[in-house]
Chains A and B, each alone.
Chain A
């Protein structure tokens, strides 16, 4: 991938019903395979930015390109398709669907995206094998794979979520405070695993947290306060 995976310019976003914009970002570029730590206080618009990058929200103005695709121009359905094809997401907690097994949770993107399924099969022979390989890399014993997602500890659940975000090698992985429910030792371990696997999959990683202590391991750090010119958001 030659160009940047994410490029925004003069992006403005305002939540309906709010007076001022929540986000107003002059420029932001993330290169392929780059690992970026995004931090900022609560309410500074981090999650809002991720929703924009994932194509769930549409900016009110400015330019937003992901993988050279003009996201705001796409229809809502096409943005949903783009998301599952190219973006892996990990949230703070409750990432997993309780009634699916660990393995089925990991395979969810392959259910919705032929591209992810194809790429996963190319990696492992078939999608299941690829999921199994990822789970093994992320230190999840095979005995857990068929268990319901709810039977796992929070730390294990987050690793399953990471495997799901990575299966089929999407170009962008977005993690919204995935470690805040973990203790310090596990945070570091999770971060290591996640970064290693993102590098292996050649995926750019946007890692969001308000916890500055995690910033050290990332080659690049972004402070919301610096890139976001809107003042109304942080309260």
Chain B
């Protein structure tokens, strides 16, 4: 099969219906004034007019998943004993996620290094990840919160995707990225796409040009370590943060989770739910001690993890795709780009014996 096929806009709904017949299909849907990923409904076209408010992360890493169920039963032979029956709940089925932008899909590559690695194999994550295909939509124009090119990505980045749709006249050029993705392109609704190759290439270049020049983040990992104990810096950077969970829950690369047992009488579930480092409870210890007692400590962790600690553990890979959601959705207008730049300035200035960096 050809690795690039043409998908006319007029055939989109039919193709989606076809995908939905063999997979659980997840698409960006307009709900009120937001666009969020959810199950495909044949009577409503997905909203791909702009990048979704929430990324597709819950398709592989749900906000809440039951990982085990348990029931306590009295041992009828010895009533002083209680037996606990446990039942593992593993994800099943196969999914296709349609319509995420490259930054949203690339987020899973950040998770893969953590949850599907020699050191750690998370069976729940891996089961979903391996059975989920991504048909990603390349961007034609960058917005002012976008900075994918700072982190080694771009508006047509196919990392993490199985198919990349590049907008061309009257539809998309569907580029097969993985073998499973190429299989999705065998539908008779798609036609050979060679003649659109030039146009697709030009569209990608044009989207790249819509971004300003990228900041050089090479000094960031070291700079963030250099300012680690500089609490005056972090207090100022976090002054306007209200310590909510909007940035982390909407981030395609935030993967922290919490495990709780929710009991209902003699039975219950063990749940894995999203956690977020901006929350006071994140590192609250049973003793009452909290190593990250203020929002300054917590914001330091969010930025440090993405731009310094994670790259330090994973061969320099930055744990941010530059999607800008944390900027756009922050109720207080906290801009992670400014914080990284200010940390680099601050570290440079203190190396030169001057304590006020220009962004600080």
Instruction: Report if A and B associate in a common complex.
Output: no
Which A residues lie at the B interface, using CB under 8 A?
A: none
Which B residues lie at the A interface, using CB under 8 A?
A: none
